[in-house]
């Protein structure tokens, strides 16, 4: 009971902290404050719990990305921070979990179950103290679903109907005046969301689906290792082997033709004469084909090298063909790298072009793990485990880079035959690059020739509107740099 009261008190404190940090604010210092606080509370509530490697890695990743939100404040760093924080919570609840997916989805499932757990805890606290409260508690339980449905439709009507929203705001303003402070429906809703969020982080989880799935996988793996005595009919196994051999021969032949054409016409032939549309089609088609090819390779090889066929005495030919197919997929990936690089050289950097390079880095790692899966007789679980953690590590690394600034600086560099796409840089790239254009206004009088002064002005207005009403909790270095240059340019 004492531990539960302490837990309830910390949940109340954390929910108030969440509201105080984020209501009416952007993401900045508040992310770092909240992340440090929640990790500290988790460690305080579980002082004797041994921290496993997944918890340590995702915990460090959460703190690192929180710092990067303050430093870069890019959308990418914010998304990766939320991903890292969510997964860390799942691993903290059940440290036996190892697969990245399990930690993430456990946290999501627990978030959906938290309203019920909070209500159950609240209603059961007094249930044993007095018998006369039982009818009231039963009535409250029966009214939970109708109340939630009413609140849902209340929010929908308030969001979609301006007159209803005005009446609603007047009502909540009246309640706030009566209570001597300002209050609105959205503030109450925001606090409740924060309460559910911090409760998700701090309450223990009894949802054992992912833990049981991992245990079942280990049991099946041990059984498979003990039962590899080729108990199946050798004739049936030989038929599967021959079928797989023919399949890999055909797939290697097809991919050889594709790679031969790419090497002939892409690797050693300039593609700069292509139009932007043709370039875009070439890169996107190659990437889409690569995604399908890699997924197909993982599925086919996982099926072929499964169970007893792993231990078939004459499967060396099948392994050699599998290695050849993996190598050919690597060549295909190199072709897409070259196409994408040519596209960047001709048309500049963009988010999707950077995304292709990040994806290709994961492809190469995936092909390496596919090779080891065949060589060491690993399972499909091995592929998922290694590749999801590799993706997480790569995403955290990429969060160190302010891609908006990299894109803008690269695309603003003068090149022969290259026309700067100012519309993309001013309208599609975030306002993190505003200070670069403010500096350009001072040093490049030719900006008027491109009629972009108005666009810069609108970007300034949008930046100031976004910053209006925020406090030091939203501070981040990227906005600070913009503000400094903006103040200097205004002073002049």
The candidate with the shortest Cα–Cα distance to 72, out of 408, 479, 484, is: 479
Least confident segment among 22-36, 80-94, 149-163, 411-425: 149-163
The whole-chain average pLDDT of the chain stands at 79
- Average confidence (pLDDT) over 57-68: 96
Q: Distances from the Cα of 103 to the Cαs of 109, 328, 333, 385, 392, in angstroms?
A: 10, 34, 30, 12, 12
Other CB atoms within 10 A of residue 292 CB: 10
Residues 401, 68 contacting (CB under 8 angstroms)? no
The candidate with the shortest Cα–Cα distance to 379, out of 389, 369, 366, 390, is: 369
pLDDT tens track for 268-300: 765 545 566 666 666 666 667 767 776 777 777
Residues 459, 433 contacting (CB under 8 angstroms)? no
Domain borders along the chain are 2-212, 235-398, 411-491
Query: What token pair was written down for 17?
Result: 């902290």
Crossing angle (nearest 10°) for helices 53-71 and 75-93 = 160
Whether 484 has a pLDDT exceeding 90, the answer reads: no
pLDDT of residue 33: 95
Other CB atoms within 10 A of residue 60 CB: 14
Long-range contacts of 371-376 (CB under 8 A, 24+ apart): 371/323, 371/326, 373/301, 373/302, 373/305, 374/301, 374/305, 374/319, 374/322, 374/323, 374/326, 375/319
| Those residues with Cβ within 8 angstroms of residue 179's Cβ, 6 or more apart along the chain or in another chain | none
130: confidence class by pLDDT, cuts 50, 70, 90: very low
| Those residues with Cβ within 8 angstroms of residue 417's Cβ, 6 or more apart along the chain or in another chain | none
133: confidence class by pLDDT, cuts 50, 70, 90: very low
Residue by residue, what is the 3-state secondary structure of the chain? CHHHHHHHHHHHHHHHHHHHHHCCCCCCHHHHHHHHHHHHHHHHHCCCCCCCHHHHHHHHHHHHHHHHHHHCCCHHHHHHHHHHHHHHHHHHHCCCCCCHHHHHHHHHHHHHHHHHHHHHHHHHHCCCCCHHHHHHHHHHHHHHHHHHHHHHHHHHHHHHCHHHHHHHHHHHHHHHHHCCCCCCHHHHHHHHHHHHHHHHHHCCCCCCHHHHHHHHHHHHHHHHHHCCCCCCCHHHHHHHHHHHHHHHHHHHHHHHHHHHHHHHHHHCCCCCCCCHHHHHHHHHHHHHHHHHHHHHHHHHHHHHCCHHHHHCCCCHHHHHHHHHHHHHHHHHHHHHHHHHHHHHHHHCCCHHHHHHHHHHHHHHHHHHHHHHHHHCCCCHHHHHHHHHHHHHHHHHHHCCCCHHHHHHHHHHCCCCCCCCCHHHHHHHCCHHHHHHHHHHHHHCHHHHHHCCHHHHHHHHHHHHHHHCCCCHHHCCHHHHHHHHHHHHHHHC
155 vs 273, more confident: 155
pLDDT of residue 454: 77
pLDDT of residue 128: 46
pLDDT tens track for 445-457: 666 555 677 788 8
Distance in angstroms (rounded) separating the CA atoms of residues 61 and 75:
16
Distance in angstroms (rounded) separating the CA atoms of residues 238 and 270:
48
Distance in angstroms (rounded) separating the CA atoms of residues 113 and 388:
25
The candidate with the shortest Cα–Cα distance to 401, out of 85, 1, 65, 10, is: 65
Residues 407, 351 contacting (CB under 8 angstroms)? yes
Residue with tokens 């206004």: 441
Whether 435 has a pLDDT exceeding 80, the answer reads: yes
pLDDT of residue 477: 92
Distance in angstroms (rounded) separating the CA atoms of residues 329 and 254:
11
24 vs 184, more confident: 24
pLDDT tens track for 307-358: 555 555 666 777 888 889 889 888 888 888 888 888 888 788 989 889 989 9
90 vs 121, more confident: 90
pLDDT of residue 450: 58
pTM for this structure? Answer: 0.81
- Average confidence (pLDDT) over 352-367: 90
pLDDT of residue 380: 78
Least confident segment among 208-217, 276-285, 424-433: 276-285
């Amino acid at each position: 009971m004492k531990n539960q009261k302490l837990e309830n008190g910390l949940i109340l404190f954390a929910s108030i902290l969440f509201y105080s940090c984020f209501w009416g604010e952007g993401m900045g210092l508040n992310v770092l404050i909240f992340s440090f606080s929640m990790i500290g509370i988790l460690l305080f509530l579980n002082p004797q719990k041994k921290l496993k490697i997944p918890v340590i890695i995702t915990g460090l990743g959460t703190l690192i990305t929180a710092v990067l939100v303050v430093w870069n404040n890019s959308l990418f760093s914010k998304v990766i921070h939320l991903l890292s924080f969510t997964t860390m919570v799942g691993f903290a609840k059940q440290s036996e979990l190892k697969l990245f997916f399990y930690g993430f989805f456990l946290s999501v499932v627990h978030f959906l179950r938290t309203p019920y757990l909070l209500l159950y805890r609240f209603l059961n606290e007094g249930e044993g103290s007095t018998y006369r409260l039982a009818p009231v508690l039963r009535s409250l339980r029966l009214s939970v679903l109708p109340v939630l449905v009413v609140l849902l439709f209340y929010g929908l009507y308030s969001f979609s109907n301006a007159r209803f929203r005005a009446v609603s705001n007047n009502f909540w303003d009246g309640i706030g005046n009566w209570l001597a402070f300002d209050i609105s429906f959205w503030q109450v809703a925001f606090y409740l969301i924060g309460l559910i969020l911090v409760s998700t982080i701090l309450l223990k989880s009894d949802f054992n689906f992912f833990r049981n799935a991992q245990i079942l996988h280990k049991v099946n793996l041990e059984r498979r290792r003990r039962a590899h005595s080729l108990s199946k009919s050798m004739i049936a196994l030989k038929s599967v082997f021959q079928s797989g051999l023919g399949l890999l021969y055909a797939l290697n032949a097809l991919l050889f033709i594709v790679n031969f054409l790419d090497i002939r016409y892409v690797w050693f032939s300039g593609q700069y004469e292509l139009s932007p549309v043709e370039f875009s089609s070439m890169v996107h088609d190659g990437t889409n084909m690569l995604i399908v090819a890699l997924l197909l390779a993982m599925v086919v090889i996982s099926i072929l090298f499964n169970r007893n066929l792993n231990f078939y005495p004459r499967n060396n030919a099948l392994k050699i063909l599998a290695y050849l197919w993996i190598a050919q997929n690597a060549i295909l990936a190199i072709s897409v790298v070259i196409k994408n690089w040519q596209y960047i050289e001709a048309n500049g950097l963009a988010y999707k072009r950077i995304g292709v390079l990040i994806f290709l880095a994961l492809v190469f790692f995936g092909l390496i793990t596919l090779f080891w899966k065949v060589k060491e007789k690993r399972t499909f679980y091995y592929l998922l485990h290694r590749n999801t953690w590799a993706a997480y590590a790569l995403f955290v690394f990429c969060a160190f880079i302010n891609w908006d600034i990299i894109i803008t600086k690269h695309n603003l560099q003068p090149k022969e035959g290259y026309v700067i796409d100012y519309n993309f840089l001013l309208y599609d790239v975030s306002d993190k690059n505003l200070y670069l254009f403010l500096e350009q206004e001072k040093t490049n009088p030719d900006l008027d020739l491109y009629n972009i002064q108005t666009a810069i002005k609108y970007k300034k207005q949008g930046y100031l509107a976004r910053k209006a009403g925020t406090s030091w909790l939203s501070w981040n270095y990227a906005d600070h740099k913009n503000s400094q240059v903006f103040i200097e340019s205004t002073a002049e």
